[in-house]
Amino acid sequence: MGAFKKFLWSLMTIALIILSAILASVALVDDKLRYDMLSYLDLQNYRYILLGVAIVVLFFAIILLIDIIANQNDKREYLVEDNDGDIFITKNSLDSTVNSAVRQFEGAELTDSKVKIIKGETVEANIKCNIFGNRDFEDLGRKIQAEVERGLKELTGLQSSNAHVQLNKAEKSKEREIR
């Protein structure tokens, strides 16, 4: 998290704490004091102050909502704990490892991958690849599966990794032909 984002989140947290303290104090005081506090709203200046606070809180809520939606699945992190230490692994790192494992095979192109760590013990990978040219799909599938599992084991340090590979025969290669 960047310094500006930390500052903004801290500011929003302080504003929400102050707002909740004000609302709690209004709710917990006796009726006469609550009436006296709310009677200040008859004055126009106090209404403007309350409107300003409401706008600031609404602005913070919109920022929080946008941040939650924007970062919903993008940078999901997994914590892998071991006796040697702990490591955070991002979803992007897992996807990149799968992509680099598939690129090692000529004529293979990764089209889709879903990789996740289950309970910090097992890495599950579901990948789909396009295969260009006439190849032995069974042999190539086993090799890709073994390479993906090896790469994920090296990255995460987990001994259990399962890769499920689906190969599709592709018609035309995206690579240019040299004439």
> How much of the chain exceeds pLDDT 70, in percent?
85
Query: Which tens digits make up the pLDDT trace of 11-57?
Result: 878 888 888 888 888 788 888 887 887 787 788 888 888 888 888 88
User: What pLDDT does 74 receive?
Assistant: 47
**41: DSSP letter:** G
The rounded distance, in Å, linking the Cα atoms of 170 and 109 is 9
**E-assigned strands of the chain?**
77-82, 85-90, 108-118, 122-132, 160-170
Which residues on neighbouring strands pair with residue 131, listed in sequence order?
A: 108, 169
Q: What is the identity of the amino acid at 115?
A: V
Element of type H or E holding 31: helix 31-39
Residue 172 banded pLDDT, cuts 50, 70, 90: low
143 token code pair: 């090799």
Q: Which residue ranges make up each domain of the chain?
A: 3-70, 77-170
CATH fold of 77-170, please?
A: Alpha-Beta Plaits (3.30.70)
Instruction: Between 2 and 167, name the one with better pLDDT.
Output: 167
